[in-house]
C-alpha cells in the first residue's frame, strides 16, 4: 500500500499540477527524481518526446499490477486525455477510484476525472468532480486545499466562457481559503491577490475595461506589499490578459512576453495576439508550441482543445 501511495503522489505531482488562476503550485513538490518508479519516468520522457503511443503502451503494462495499478491508471487516463480520448481516459480514472488505497488517493482520482472533463470543455462536469475533492478536504478541515480546488474549477469555467459560474467559484475559493485557522497575513494577501486577479480577468472578458483596470490596480497594490514575491510572475500575465480583451494587442503582447513562456495557456495567448496583429506565421509558431503540452491541468486542457482548432 505504501508503494501505491508513493506512486500516486509521484504521478499526480507531475501530471495534475494546477495553475488554477494565478496561484502558487497547488500540489506538494515532486519527490526527488531518483525516487520515481522507472515505468513512470520512462513514460513521461516518451510523452515529452512525442511518443504518446509508446508511453501509453508502457503505462498499460502496469494497470493490473497490484503495486502499480493506481498510479498506472492515473497516468494512462491522463495521457489519453492529452490524446483526445476522454471517454477511454475516464474508464481508467473510474478504476483508480475503485482501487484507491486511501481517501486522499480517491480524491486525487476524482480530481483527475475533473480535469478529464476540462479537456472536453465541460465546466459543469468538471465542477461536479471538483466538489468531490473539496468534500474530501472539508472532511480534513483543510481550507487551503478547498480554496485551491475551487479556483481550479473556476479556471476551467472562465477558459470555456462560463463567466458567471467562474465568478461564483473564484469567490467560493477566496472565501474558503480565508477560513484557514490562524491564517497569517501573507496567506490572506495571497487569497486577496488571487481574487483581484480573477475579478480583473472576468471583468475584461465582460468588456468592463474600467472595472478590470480597478482590479488590476488592487492586485498590484497587494503584490507591492512584498508578502508574496512568488506571485510576481503572474502579474504581467494579468496585464496582458486585460489588454488583450481591451483590444490593445501591442500591450497584450508585451505583458504575455513577460509571463511564463513555458505555460501553454500563455503560448496560446501569445499566438492569438500575434494573429490579431496580423502575423499568422508567429501565431502558428506559438500554437504549435502550446500543442505539445503533455500536462494534465487546466492550462493544458485549454491549450490542447484550442490548438487543435487552430492547427487543423
Asked whether the predicted pLDDT for residue 9 surpasses 80, the reply is no
Cα angle for residues 43, 48, 51 (degrees, 5° grid): 70
pLDDT mean across residues, the chain: 91
The pLDDT value recorded for residue 37 is 80
- Residue 175 confidence (pLDDT) above 70: yes
- What band does 14 get if pLDDT is binned at 50, 70 and 90? very low
pLDDT tens digit string along 199-214? 999 999 999 999 999 9
User: pLDDT at position 26, please?
Assistant: 37
- Kindly report the CATH number that applies to the domain delimited by 234-312: 1.25.40.10
Using one digit for the tens of pLDDT, what is the confidence trace for 20-77? 444 443 333 333 343 668 898 899 999 999 999 999 999 999 999 999 999 999 999 9
* CA distance between the termini of the chain: 44
* Main-chain dihedrals φ then ψ at residue 311, nearest 5 degrees: -100, 0
pLDDT at position 12 over 90: no
Give SS3 for 311: helix
Query: Measured in whole angstroms, how far is the alpha carbon of residue 252 from the centre of its chain?
Result: 22
What value does the mean pLDDT take over residues 112-121?
A: 98
Read off the pLDDT of each residue in 307-312 and give the average, rounded to a whole number. Answer: 95
- The secondary structure element, H or E, covering residue 191 is helix 185-205
Average pLDDT over residues 130-159: 98
> Mean pLDDT throughout 216-239?
97
Q: Report the share of the chain in percent with pLDDT over 70.
A: 88
Q: Residue 8 above 50 pLDDT?
A: no
**Plot region of 308 (φ>0 → left; ψ -120 to 50 → alpha; else → beta):** alpha
Tell me, what's the pLDDT at 98? 98
Residue 164 CA: distances (Å) to CA of 93, 194, 218, 243: 29, 17, 21, 21
Pull the grid cell for residue 144.
487551503
Do residues 115 and 126 lie in contact, with contact meaning Cβ atoms separated by under 8 Å? yes
254-288 pLDDT tens trace = 999 999 999 999 999 999 999 999 999 999 999 99
**Could you tell me if 255 and 243 are in contact, meaning their C-beta atoms sit under 8 angstroms apart?**
yes
Q: Is the pLDDT of residue 157 over 50?
A: yes
Confidence (pLDDT) at 77:
98
Amino acid at each position: 500500500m505504501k508503494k501505491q501511495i508513493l506512486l500516486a503522489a509521484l504521478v499526480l505531482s507531475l501530471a495534475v499540477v494546477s495553475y488554477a488562476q494565478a496561484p502558487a503550485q497547488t500540489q506538494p513538490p515532486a519527490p526527488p527524481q531518483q525516487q520515481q518508479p522507472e515505468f513512470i519516468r520512462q513514460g513521461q520522457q516518451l510523452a515529452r518526446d512525442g511518443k504518446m503511443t509508446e508511453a501509453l503502451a508502457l503505462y498499460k503494462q502496469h494497470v493490473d499490477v497490484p503495486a502499480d495499478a493506481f498510479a498506472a491508471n492515473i497516468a494512462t487516463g491522463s495521457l489519453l486525455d492529452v490524446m483526445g480520448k476522454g471517454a477511454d481516459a475516464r474508464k481508467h480514472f473510474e478504476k483508480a477510484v475503485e482501487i484507491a488505497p486511501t481517501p486522499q488517493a480517491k480524491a486525487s482520482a476524482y480530481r483527475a476525472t475533473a480535469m478529464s472533463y476540462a479537456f472536453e470543455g465541460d465546466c459543469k462536469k468538471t465542477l461536479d468532480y471538483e466538489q468531490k475533492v473539496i468534500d474530501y478536504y472539508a472532511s480534513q478541515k483543510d481550507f487551503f486545499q478547498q480554496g485551491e480546488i475551487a479556483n481550479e474549477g473556476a479556471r476551467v469555467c472562465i477558459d470555456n466562457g462560463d463567466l458567471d459560474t467562474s465568478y461564483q467559484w473564484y469567490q467560493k475559493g477566496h472565501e474558503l481559503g480565508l477560513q484557514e485557522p490562524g491564517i497569517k497575513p501573507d496567506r490572506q494577501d495571497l487569497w486577496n491577490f488571487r481574487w483581484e486577479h480573477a475579478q480583473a480577468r472576468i471583468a475584461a472578458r465582460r468588456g468592463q475595461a474600467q472595472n478590470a483596470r480597478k482590479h488590476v490596480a488592487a492586485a498590484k497594490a497587494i503584490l507591492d506589499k512584498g508578502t508574496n514575491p512568488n506571485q510576481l510572475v503572474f502579474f504581467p500575465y494579468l496585464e496582458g490578459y486585460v489588454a488583450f480583451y481591451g483590444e490593445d494587442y501591442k500591450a497584450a503582447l508585451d505583458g504575455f512576453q513577460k509571463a511564463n513562456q513555458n505555460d501553454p495557456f500563455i503560448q496560446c495567448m501569445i499566438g492569438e495576439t500575434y494573429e490579431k496583429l496580423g502575423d499568422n506565421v508567429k501565431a502558428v509558431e506559438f500554437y504549435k508550441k502550446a500543442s505539445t503540452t503533455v500536462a494534465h491541468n487546466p492550462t493544458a486542457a485549454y491549450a490542447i482543445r484550442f490548438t487543435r482548432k487552430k492547427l487543423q
